[in-house]
Amino acid sequence: MGKVRTLLACSSCGQQLAQWVGRCPGCGGWGTIEERAGGTAPSDVVLQTLEHDGAVERRVPTGFPGIDRVLGGGLVPASVALLAGEPGIGKSTLLLQLVANLSAAGLSCLLASGEESRGQVAARARRLGLAGDAVSFVAGRELGAVVDAVRASRPFLLAVDSIQTLRDPDAGQVPGGPAQVRSCADALIGLAKAQGFAVVLTGHVTKDGDLAGPRTLEHAVDVVLTFDGDPRSGLRMLTGGKNRFGAEGEVAWFEMTGTGLAEIDPTALLVAGRGEPGAATALPRAGRRALAVEVQALVAPTDGPPRRQVTGLDGRRFQLVAAVLERAGVRLGRADLYGASSGGVRIDDPACDLAVAAALVSAATQVAPPHGAAFIGEVGLTGLVRSAQAMEPRLAAARAAGVRTVFGPTVGDDGAGIRIVPVRHVRDALTWASRSESGHPT
Ligand code: TYD
Ligand code: MG
């Protein structure tokens, strides 16, 4: 006879618990733990306890300190991570380097690739100078073959490139479609949790950020890592999204070199302030931190239809800022306007508008912004500058980059060592340009 006892379980994920907690350790849901009315546990059912078995806290270094930080301290056994990014951004390269690092540390890894053949992956490993002999490989097109290979090799890590090329014959007809992607991922997630190995799945996202298939996986996996950057430049960022084991929003920076991805310190690469006309320092958010990034502009008079072209910047915001400046008396109309961010780092933070405005006015007047200045603020259609969120990390990034003056909406009482020039209207941030003999902004 089983004894009568009260069961606690999560109403959302079904996780069973021995005592009540506010937050479900299984799915992270708050207030979802409920009593399941005095059930009788049959004697042949073995209920596991939550006794600490030592494996829960284990973190395995990936060989990339930045990735460890994004993951919340390293790779967690029996966890499943999705590595999402546009085609060509470097997902396969990163995955291969990750697998090589772990293999070199003596952890067995199985790479399942449906994107490339064994020969192609081996050739890439050779080009990257990675030892391929420690890595097991299986063609990653058939779910069944991958599952068999996992059972046979019992790896520490299963790396799947990509989840879209994996096929489960029992789930729908559309390869890479939501039903296929979901079914294959579910099978691997179940196996990973049962056998205790870690999984990293790559997933292709489309240009507008829509993770067609893989997006549906976000709530099934433990960690979502987004890999992006400007494919034309070498700069890449790995951002931690959802993370069951750590903080969200951490960012690691890489450069794509001839021998694969090298981790870099972005502060050295992106810091501006060479005092050239046409450049201004912006302080965009990057996860929970912020960066000092140089925004550049070029104003080239033309007789033809004027062009507006950007790299790294948001094209629509760039045009809006240009139009607002025009209204404020800066003559930009009969000119081609180019905008760029240094290193091609993607800036879609509206609080960088004011730096874009400063770069454009500086380019038009050929007067450089004051030495050691940076700009924060979203520019509205009327020219009024809206306050920005996350001023603290922005000012911290400014301080680290040697910025001494920030033009921006007033913050609290002081900028802790940084002089804040209060800006209400975009004009207030451009007074330095009036010193020019040619072209006045107002
Ligand atoms: P890849 O990892 O194949 O991207 P994804 O899997 O996300 O589609 O790599 C994309 C690009 O990176 C490829 O076009 C060439 C470039 N690359 C380098 O510049 N250096 C290298 O060492 C490697 C392996 C790739
Ligand atoms: Mg690839």
Structure confidence by residue, pLDDT tens digits, 39-62: 444 456 667 777 766 545 689 999
Protein residue closest via CA to atom 2 of ligand 1: 90
- Give the bridge partners for 159, in sequence order: 111, 200
Structure confidence by residue, pLDDT tens digits, 140-150: 999 999 999 99
- CA distance linking residue 80 with residue 315, whole number of Å: 36
Give pLDDT, residue 190: 95
Strands 405-408 and 373-375, sheet pairing: parallel
Give pLDDT, residue 121: 96
Indicate the top mutation candidate among 83, 92, 93, 162 to test ligand 1's pocket, ranked by most ligand atoms within 8 A of CB. Answer: 93
Q: Mean pLDDT throughout 380-402?
A: 89
In this predicted structure, the answer to whether residue 431 has a pLDDT above a threshold of 70 is yes
3-state secondary structure of 360: helix
- CA distance linking residue 296 with residue 311, whole number of Å: 10
Give the pTM: 0.69
In this predicted structure, the answer to whether residue 66 has a pLDDT above a threshold of 50 is yes
3-state secondary structure of 146: helix
In this predicted structure, the answer to whether residue 312 has a pLDDT above a threshold of 90 is no
Task: Give the Å distance between the CA of 238 and the centre of ligand 2.
Answer: 16
Count how many Cα atoms sit within 13 Å of the Cα of residue 304 in the half-sphere of its side chain.
Answer: 5
- Tell me which residues have their CB within 5 A of the ion that is ligand 2: 92, 115
Protein residue closest via CA to atom 1 of ligand 1: 90
Structure confidence by residue, pLDDT tens digits, 313-325: 999 999 999 999 9
Residue 135 or residue 248, greater confidence: 135
Q: Mean pLDDT throughout 391-401?
A: 86
Nearest atom within ligand 1 for CA of residue 85: 7
Burial 133-164 (b: 16+ CB within 10 A, else e): ebbbbbebebbeebbebbeeeebbbbbbbbbb
3-state secondary structure of 384: strand
Task: Give the Å distance between the CA of 76 and the centre of ligand 1.
Answer: 26
Of 120-129, 382-391, 433-442, the one with minimum mean pLDDT is 433-442
Residue 153 or residue 171, greater confidence: 153
Instruction: Give the confidence band of 213 by pLDDT, cuts at 50, 70, 90.
Output: low
Burial 29-48 (b: 16+ CB within 10 A, else e): beebbeeeeeeeeeeeeeee
Give pLDDT, residue 275: 76
Task: Give the Å distance between the CA of 81 and the centre of ligand 1.
Answer: 20
In this predicted structure, the answer to whether residue 437 has a pLDDT above a threshold of 50 is no
Task: Give the Å distance between the CA of 88 and the centre of ligand 1.
Answer: 6
Kindly state the helix (H) or strand (E) to which residue 143 belongs, with its residue range: helix 143-153
* Inter-CA distances, 421 with 205, 409, 433, Å: 41, 8, 15
Number of Cβ within 10 Å of residue 111's Cβ equals 29
Give pLDDT, residue 198: 97
Q: Closest ligand to 86 CA? A: 1
Task: Give the Å distance between the CA of 149 and the centre of ligand 1.
Answer: 26
Instruction: Give the confidence band of 268 by pLDDT, cuts at 50, 70, 90.
Output: low
Task: Please count the helices (runs of H) and the strands (runs of E) in the chain.
Answer: 9, 23
What tokens were used for 358? 């400063």
- CA distance linking residue 156 with residue 290, whole number of Å: 35
Residue 401 or residue 76, greater confidence: 76
Protein residue closest via CA to atom 14 of ligand 1: 88
Q: Closest ligand to 96 CA? A: 1
Instruction: Give the confidence band of 442 by pLDDT, cuts at 50, 70, 90.
Output: very low
- CA distance linking residue 109 with residue 112, whole number of Å: 10
What tokens were used for 340? 């760029």
Q: Give the helix ranges, DSSP H, for 178-245.
A: 178-195
Indicate the top mutation candidate among 256, 257, 259 to test ligand 1's pocket, ranked by most ligand atoms within 8 A of CB. Answer: 256
Kindly state the helix (H) or strand (E) to which residue 405 belongs, with its residue range: strand 405-408
- Judge whether 143 and 187 are in contact, CB under 8 Å: yes
Task: Give the Å distance between the CA of 65 and the centre of ligand 2.
Answer: 23
pLDDT, mean over the chain: 85
Q: Mean pLDDT throughout 10-16?
A: 73
What is the crossing angle of helices 143-153 and 178-195, to 10°? Answer: 10
- Give the bridge partners for 282, in sequence order: 293, 375
Counting residues of the chain whose pLDDT is more than 70, the rounded percentage is 86
Number of Cβ within 10 Å of residue 190's Cβ equals 11
Ligand 1 pocket by Cβ (under 6 Å)? 85, 87-93, 124, 128, 256, 258-260
- In terms of residues, how long is the chain? 442
Protein residue closest via CA to atom 13 of ligand 1: 88
Q: Mean pLDDT throughout 197-204?
A: 96
Nearest alpha-carbon partner for 208 in 188, 223, 228, 193: 228
